[in-house]
Amino acid sequence: MSAPLSHLTVVELGEERGAAYCAQLLATYGARVIKIEKASGDNTRALGPFVRRADVETSVPFLWLNAGKESVVCDVDTAAGQDIVRQLVLASDIVIESFTPGYLEERGLSYDTLSRERRALVMTSVTPFGQSGPYSQYTSDEIVSYATGGGMYLTGDPQREPLNGGVPVASYSTGMVAFFATLSAIFAAGNTGRGDHLDISVQEAMLDNVEIALMEHLHTGRVAKRTGDRHNLVPWRLFRCRDGFAAVIGGPIRKWLGAIDLFNEPKLALDKFRHVAGRMAHREELEALLQPWLDEHDRAEILAAGRERGLAVGVLNQPEEVLLDAQHRARQFFHQVDHPVAGDYLVPGEPYRFTDTPLEPRRAPLLGEHTEKVLAEDLRMPRSRLDDLVDKGVVMLQGSTA
Partner 1 sequence: MATALHGVRVLDFSHDWAGPHATRLLADAGADVIKVEYPRRLDGMRGGHLEDERYNRHPRWWQLHRNKRSLTLDLTRAEHRDRALVLVRWADVVVDSSRPGVLDSLGLTWEVMHGQRPDLILLQMSAFGATGPDAQYGGYGGAIEPTSGVEAFTGYEGEERPRRIRELDVTNGIAGACAVITALVRRQATGLGAHIDLSQTEAAISTMAGDAFVAVAAGAAESRPLGNRHPSFAPHGCYPCRGDDRWIVLSVQTDDEWRALCRAIERPDLGTNPQLSHVAGRRQHADLIDDAISTWTRGRGHREAMEELQAGGIRAGAVFDAGDVANDPHLAARGWLLDAEDGSGRYPGAPFKFATDPVVVARRGPFLGEHDMEISTDIISLAPDQVEQLRVSDLGTAFDPE
Residues 305-324 that bind partner 1 (CB under 8 A): 307, 310, 312-323
Residue 103 is a binding residue for partner 1 (CB under 8 A): no
Q: Is 113 left (phi over 0), alpha (psi -120 to 50) or beta?
A: alpha
Output the CA angle 264-266-267, nearest 5 degrees: 125
| Nearest to 224, CA basis, from 237, 214, 232 | 214
Q: Which is nearer to partner 1, 356 or 391 (CB)?
A: 356
Binding track over 178-197 against partner 1, x by CB under 8 A: xxxx-xxxxxx-xx--x-xx
| Nearest to 206, CA basis, from 196, 214, 194 | 214
Q: How far is the CB of 280 from partner 1 (least distance, A)?
A: 10
Taking the CB of residue 226, how many other CB atoms lie within 10 A of it? 18
Q: Which is nearer to partner 1, 341 or 347 (CB)?
A: 347
Q: How far is the CB of 248 from partner 1 (least distance, A)?
A: 9
Question: Any idea of the CA torsion for 355, 358, 364, 369, to the nearest 10 degrees?
Answer: -130
Residue 119 is a binding residue for partner 1 (CB under 8 A): no
Q: How far is the CB of 74 from partner 1 (least distance, A)?
A: 24
Residue 102 is a binding residue for partner 1 (CB under 8 A): no
Q: Report the relative pairing of strands 70-74 and 32-37 from DSSP bridges.
A: parallel
Residue 271 is a binding residue for partner 1 (CB under 8 A): no
Residue 177 is a binding residue for partner 1 (CB under 8 A): yes
Residue 173 is a binding residue for partner 1 (CB under 8 A): yes
Of residues 197-256, those binding partner 1 (CB under 8 A): 197-201, 203-205, 207-220, 222-225, 228-229, 231, 236-238, 240, 245, 247, 249, 251-256
Spatial neighbors of 148 by CB under 8 A, at least 6 apart, are: 129, 140, 203, 206
| Nearest to 205, CA basis, from 156, 253, 142 | 142
Residue 163 is a binding residue for partner 1 (CB under 8 A): yes
Task: Name the β-bridge partners of 35.
Answer: 12, 71
Of residues 122-141, those binding partner 1 (CB under 8 A): 129-130, 132-136, 138-141
Of residues 340-379, those binding partner 1 (CB under 8 A): 345-356
